[in-house]
Structure 1
Amino acid sequence: MSEPTHGSGPTDGASPDSAPTPEGASPDSAPTPEGASGDGAHATAPRRRSDRHTAKKHRHPWMRRAAFGVAGVLVVALVLGVAAYVKLNGNIQRLDITSALGDRPTPQATTDAQTNLGPVNIFVMGSDSREGTKLGKGQTEYGMTGARSDTNLIVHLSADRKSAIVVSIPRDSMTMAPRDCKNKNDKVDNGVIRQWNQNFTLGGPACTIRTFEGLTGIFIDHFVVIDFRGFQDMVDALGGVTVCTPEPIDDKDSHLVLKAGKTKVNGQQALGYVRVRKTVGDGSDLGRIDRQQAFLSSVIQEATKSSLLLRPDKLFRFLNATTSAMTTDKGLDIGEMKDIAQSVQKIGTDQIRFVKLPTESYAPDPNRVQWTSSADTIWKAIRKDQPLPGTKVPSGTTTATGSPTTSEPALTVSPDAISVRVSNDSGIAGLAKQTAAELQVQGFKIDSYVTGTGKPTDGVVVRYGPGQKEAARTVAAAYPGAQIRADDLLGSTIELSMGLDSPQAVEVPNRLGTTPLPKPSVTATQSTGPSETIKARTASQDICT
């Protein structure tokens, strides 16, 4: 049926400007009289225009429909994308613990020149309860009353985004900890010895992170608490995960029955597998950590080799299950997670290393463990964003050291108004005397300098009493990367601890006098000897090994 024609002219469907076309000929192929001039060719133009006009009249409805269809698809995709973002972001419980962390370490590593990114440290904790988490605006509860945490992982992403380290902390570790995490005057240094997982039970993520930062000097950028009840949904959304056990498992408490060898487990079985302890191996928490690390390797292998990213429905189910089981800090929203995920896309599975923190038996209770000196080697590598000793790194990898690139506020206290007590905690003779000379030449007053008698420490730590933070900043400026820590037991004198690998002194911006710094005669480096190797498994490793 033809479209109605408005105005005068034929109404039988023909255009008033068109002429009949011979059967089988196209409108644009009408013959031109032999020998016709340009004027003759010009005379055929109106018919060609009318033919195009007719064709446009017939084509436009289809083009419009196609355009509307494409626009519709884009609108639907946009709406679904926004809806998915809102849904996933709304799934995550958030907890602001900033004010409960007190004085925190200063990051020591710089931004990588190629990626323009700094290293990222994420603390991952497993929780079997969310009771008592008063989350929400205006709340001041930082704990998870009644919750327990058997899984604690430190995830370190290198600044060049070419490698990652995942360190497991045994739940039975005995370490120093703040006596009361709700009291800001209680710190690790003047605290008590406590079993590691008690920190989470007593004060949730805030107490755990505060204890960790006080022990290691590592700044935690983000934390994630995974609810064990949602963990199995994450595994089910992946379609199951393959595990490998060298011996059959028949555990009545977790209702887990597995044959020896490889088995693809569902969410409920996976939860039992990563938590079972007493009926497998030696029944220790250390054996459970080995299984957890092998399980995480399997998850990474499954996610990288499967079509998870090519299946939006499957990916959404996984992300929905993951975010529904998470509690994070307020800065770790979906946008930040996406940025982190995109930045680590090129990390190979052979450059993701799982490390079990080195421990030894704890003498007062053989059922507990304590960290060995090798643990300090791991923490130092993370602090300085350096490879673990004995590991190979991808070609072109750079390590970032020194002070952070962020600009510091101007110093406000003159050196001649500051009294410093220097402690040589490196075990290397002569360091305290040398440090005192480096400070005196810049105008600082030296109260005393002594040699510490305890175990050698690492790096430089500046401790200050009430109202002396600005003075401490001036002292710390002389040693790039120095940590600043409050100590309410100190008076007006600043305590400067010089440990192993302390940097050479530099001139502070507001120094007094012009006499050059004395040339150092003592270097606070560890004595040379057999290089230490930290045992680690990679995510690419066979899960049965």
Structure 2
Amino acid sequence: MHNDDSLPPDGGSRSQQRTARAMDRQQARRRRAVLTFGTIAAVLVVGLVAAYLRFNGNIDRLDVTKALGKNRPSAAGNISSGPLNILLIGSDIRTGEGNEGYGTGDWEPGQHSDTNLLLHISADRKNVTMVSIPRDSMVPAPVECNADAPVDQWQVRQWNKNFNTGGPGCVMRTLEGNTDIFVNHFAVVDFGGFKNMVDALGGVEVCTPTPINDPKAKLTLAAGRHTLQGEQALGYVRARYTVGDGSDLGRIKRQQAFMSSVAQKATESSLLLRPDKLLRFLDAATQSLTTDPDFGIGAMKDVAQSIKNIGVDNIQFVTVPTEPYPQDPNRVQWAPAADELWTAIREDRDISKPKPTPSPSDTRPLTVSPDEITVEVVNSSGVVGLSKQAAEGLRVQGFNEVTTSNGHGVVSGVTIEYAPEQAEAARTVAAAFPGAVLTEDDGLGKRVRVTLGSGAPNVVEVPNRLGEKPLPTPTLTSTPTLSPTIQARKASQDICS
């Protein structure tokens, strides 16, 4: 007998009802999951925005536009494209949180730039070069940091006094005026900020071949490898008088080894991929940081993002080549090889790779007559009168429009620069200087510029010369300058080496 009471009230089977209830529970779980995920996402977004605002608010901003003046080098790149140059300054200020208690008090009042680094990032974002500028360098600088003072009226001053006299703007102006390199941004960090960053990294490993006992740097350290926290790390990079020869150059070597260790640690710990570590480091880094108004967290993030794939093999450290300063044995001056370093930075060349060799002799017939060419001969050889001698050798051959000038510092070989539309004219000029390197420069107009460096050859006859008067017999010769090799330290190098 069929019992109607055994059927579900809605007429469906019990299995259908169980399926319907299961689907309802599943949909409810999905709704809760979506709600939970949305809540987490919202919290993350709010947290990131808050962190960004906090970090950006930590940074002190300083506009140094007036200190730089109007006569600056041309900018070759920016944050998003082209080569990028950032001046990094370590301040030795003894006031403020984390900065007290260093030194004996017998230092000049105010701040000095204890550490000076020019960070150069290549246009292709494939390599980074950090140039250490010795603080004891005696270099021409604008009197009283007057931005409008012509470079030829500058007076020689110890490098780290530029910061004391006129702040980061004066340091930038002095660097640009001596190197013709445009500095895009600057950042200044003090003792306290340095210690905080090291602590945020969890310490940094160093290696010292000899024991260190430096009361001024507040550091006692046995020989060997050590992992240093902020306070000790600061003492290590500041130690000078009781380590090695006591010079700033020896301290720079230790600082470069320390920075190599930092780069290795950041890579090994995947700093950029660990939000907890990255946020802690950024908070520490920005608390004692002063930058130009355009170099905030957003710009720093873009820079970091652009070089995130650069390995430690492509990060290198180099020191500006120096020689003794004749007036004071405790000071140094930039050696002629420094010009080669600055030229490489300007030309965005990797200093660890060989310098481009001159192109093979061009055997094609010359198409522009000497009397149709305007030539400027610049003497950067260190031999007085060399440009005038070369000019006479050109004029005899029909180069009627020839001027001469003196360059800044000493370079090597012969470089011929020309605007693209003057390529054929440049070939005629190059025929007079065997082995010359030709490079394009959009800003030269009709002028072809010849820069004579050390080892530059004397003028020879060009195939399409005008007139028959013989070339003057040279009385001056420029021999190659045997400058010290620019040594680069790779960040991947063992810290004990």
Instruction: Tell me the TM-score range normalised by the shorter chain.
Output: 0.7 to 0.9
Query: 219, 231, 256: which one pairs with 1:256?
Result: 219
- Matched pairs, number: 418
Query: 301, 311, 331: which one pairs with 2:294?
Result: 331
Q: Following superposition of structure 1 onto structure 2, how do residues 24-63 of structure 1 map, counting pairs within 5 Å? A: 26-27=15-16, 54-63=21-30
Q: Following superposition of structure 1 onto structure 2, how do residues 261-276 of structure 1 map, counting pairs within 5 Å? A: 261-276=224-239
Question: CA separation in 2, counterparts of 1:127 and 1:521?
Answer: 41
Q: Following superposition of structure 1 onto structure 2, how do residues 221-300 of structure 1 map, counting pairs within 5 Å? A: 221-300=184-263
Query: 103, 109, 127: which one pairs with 2:70?
Result: 103
2:12 is aligned with 1:19: yes
Q: Following superposition of structure 1 onto structure 2, how do residues 323-362 of structure 1 map, counting pairs within 5 Å? A: 323-362=286-325
Which digits, 9 at most, give the CA deviation of each residue in 1:171-220, with x for residues without a partner?
11001110121x33323321111000000000010000001100000000
Please tell me the residue identity of whatever aligns with 1:170. Answer: P
Q: Which residue of 1 aligns with 2:40?
A: 73
Which digits, 9 at most, give the CA deviation of each residue in 1:73-108, with x for residues without a partner?
111111111111111111111111112201344347
Which digits, 9 at most, give the CA deviation of each residue in 1:263-304, with x for residues without a partner?
111100000110011111111111110110000000111111
478 and 127 in structure 1: CA distance in 2 versus 1, 3 angstrom threshold: farther
Query: 87, 90, 94: which one pairs with 1:126?
Result: 90
275 and 216 in structure 1: CA distance in 2 versus 1, 3 angstrom threshold: same
Please tell me the residue identity of whatever aligns with 1:166. Answer: M
Question: CA separation in 2, counterparts of 1:350 and 1:454?
Answer: 33
Q: Which residue of 1 aligns with 2:31?
A: 64
Please tell me the residue identity of whatever aligns with 2:293. Answer: K
Partner secondary structure for residue 209 of structure 1: helix
532 and 315 in structure 1: CA distance in 2 versus 1, 3 angstrom threshold: same
Unaligned runs of 5+ in 2: 97-107, 357-373, 424-435, 457-479
Q: Which residue of 1 aligns with 2:49?
A: 82
Q: Which residue of 2 aligns with 1:155?
A: 119
TM-score, normalization by structure 2: 0.74
Query: 119, 126, 137: which one pairs with 1:173?
Result: 137
Q: Which residue of 1 aligns with 2:470?
A: none
Q: Give the aligned CA root-mean-square deviation in angstroms.
A: 3.9
Partner secondary structure for residue 189 of structure 1: helix
Q: Is the 8 A contact 1:158 1:385 kept in 2?
A: yes
Q: Is the 8 A contact 2:376 2:449 kept in 1?
A: no
Query: 449, 462, 470: which one pairs with 2:403?
Result: 449
Q: Is the 8 A contact 1:89 1:334 kept in 2?
A: yes
Q: Which residue of 1 aligns with 2:284?
A: 321
Question: CA separation in 1, counterparts of 2:180 and 2:409?
Answer: 16
Q: Is the 8 A contact 2:138 2:325 kept in 1?
A: yes
For residue 230 of structure 1, report the CA deviation from its aligned partner: 1.5
Question: CA separation in 2, counterparts of 1:344 and 1:105?
Answer: 27
Please tell me the residue identity of whatever aligns with 1:424. Answer: V
Q: Is the 8 A contact 1:177 1:187 kept in 2?
A: no
Question: CA separation in 2, counterparts of 1:478 and 1:204?
Answer: 43
Partner secondary structure for residue 232 of structure 2: helix
Please tell me the residue identity of whatever aligns with 2:257. Answer: A
Partner secondary structure for residue 216 of structure 2: coil
92 and 507 in structure 1: CA distance in 2 versus 1, 3 angstrom threshold: closer
For residue 308 of structure 1, report the CA deviation from its aligned partner: 3.0
Question: CA separation in 2, counterparts of 1:131 and 1:478?
Answer: 58
| Bigger Rg, which one | 1
Question: CA separation in 1, counterparts of 2:70 and 2:236?
Answer: 38
Please tell me the residue identity of whatever aligns with 1:189. Answer: D
Question: CA separation in 1, counterparts of 2:160 and 2:484?
Answer: 29
301 and 104 in structure 1: CA distance in 2 versus 1, 3 angstrom threshold: farther
Please tell me the residue identity of whatever aligns with 1:258. Answer: L
Question: CA separation in 2, counterparts of 1:278 and 1:455?
Answer: 32
Question: CA separation in 1, counterparts of 2:442 and 2:70?
Answer: 25
Partner secondary structure for residue 208 of structure 1: helix
Question: CA separation in 2, counterparts of 1:507 and 1:341?
Answer: 32
Q: Which residue of 1 aligns with 2:326?
A: 363
85 and 436 in structure 1: CA distance in 2 versus 1, 3 angstrom threshold: farther
TM-score, normalization by structure 1: 0.68
Q: Which residue of 2 aligns with 1:380?
A: 343
Please tell me the residue identity of whatever aligns with 1:147. Answer: Q
